[in-house]
Amino acid sequence: MKRFRFYARLYILMISQYIKARMQFRSDFYISTFAMILLNITGIFSYWILFHSISSIDGWNFNQLVFLYSFALLATTPQQIFFDNLWVIRISLRNGNFIKYYFKPINTLFYYISEVFDIKGLGQLGLALVMLIYSSVKLGINWNLLNIIMLIVFILSSALIMISLMLLAASISFWVIESVSVIMLIHKLSEYSRYPITIFNGVFRFIFTGIIPIAFIAYYPSRYFLSQGTFDVKVFATPFVGIILFMIAYRVWTIGVNRYSGTGS
């Protein structure tokens, strides 16, 4: 517990300094936040247009898809806000700056991710909450204490899955310096979490469930709230998938950190 308090205080201190520096350029913050919100709204707008021609997609109506979409946004937001620095790890490794993370007696991953706090992700968080509330009201979801607890558990578990996938992709940079294509691939695949897995064929269902568990980011957790009374073991497997995947991702990261020796210059 003492160690946790130490890291919590240190993180708050580092992030507060980062935010102060970023807020010196407020126009950049406002523009980037607006762009982030607008980008996510276009996804809902495409649903709205589509449902002018059809009544459902594989049994999912408009409000159910909005709920799924908002859940996916909530699940991917922590990675967006807290782990955004993973996108540029290849640059730090290539120019040798990553070596500085070895010189302080704190966890290397913590030190690295603490340098960036993506403020514009807060706009995505706000939009996701508004969409979740809207769709919940339209669907008549009863937010009793149990459902609220399960929502928190599922959001944290799904966020852990997304963070783990990005961490795995970023860790490849220790072996393949130009690994941005791998990170981009995971990012693009994560966008499929906004759609019901049932619309894909058997091959992609297997991939998105058993190999790259995109379906556990939003589809399976959402089914708990949208299919009350229907038991599916994969729904309740989401927390275990998140924990196991993070253990694997962190192990790969640790191996990469231990083998890195700088640029040699």
In a domain, 142, yes or no: yes
In a domain, 196, yes or no: yes
How much is the pLDDT for 118?
82
Of 174, 11, 10, 22, residue with least CA distance to 92: 174
Name residues of the chain where pLDDT drops below 50. 265
| Block residue for tokens 């807020």 | 23
In a domain, 92, yes or no: yes
* Rounded distance between C-alpha atoms, residue 17 and residue 21, angstroms: 6
In a domain, 37, yes or no: yes
Contacts of 218 (CB under 8 A, 6+ apart): 68, 69, 71, 72, 75, 158, 193, 194
Task: Please tell me the pTM assigned to this model.
Answer: 0.87
How much is the pLDDT for 239?
94
How much is the pLDDT for 200?
87
In a domain, 216, yes or no: yes
The answer to whether residues 167 and 249 touch, using CB atoms and an 8 Å cutoff, is yes
The answer to whether residues 198 and 56 touch, using CB atoms and an 8 Å cutoff, is no
Q: In one letter, which amino acid is 46?
A: S
How much is the pLDDT for 96?
82
Of 202, 192, 205, 200, residue with least CA distance to 234: 205
How much is the pLDDT for 195?
87
How much is the pLDDT for 23?
66
How much is the pLDDT for 216?
95
How much is the pLDDT for 90?
87
In a domain, 118, yes or no: yes
**What count of other Cβ atoms lies within 10 Å of the Cβ of residue 248?**
13
Domain total of the chain: 1
In a domain, 264, yes or no: no
In a domain, 265, yes or no: no
Show the domain range for 16: 2-259
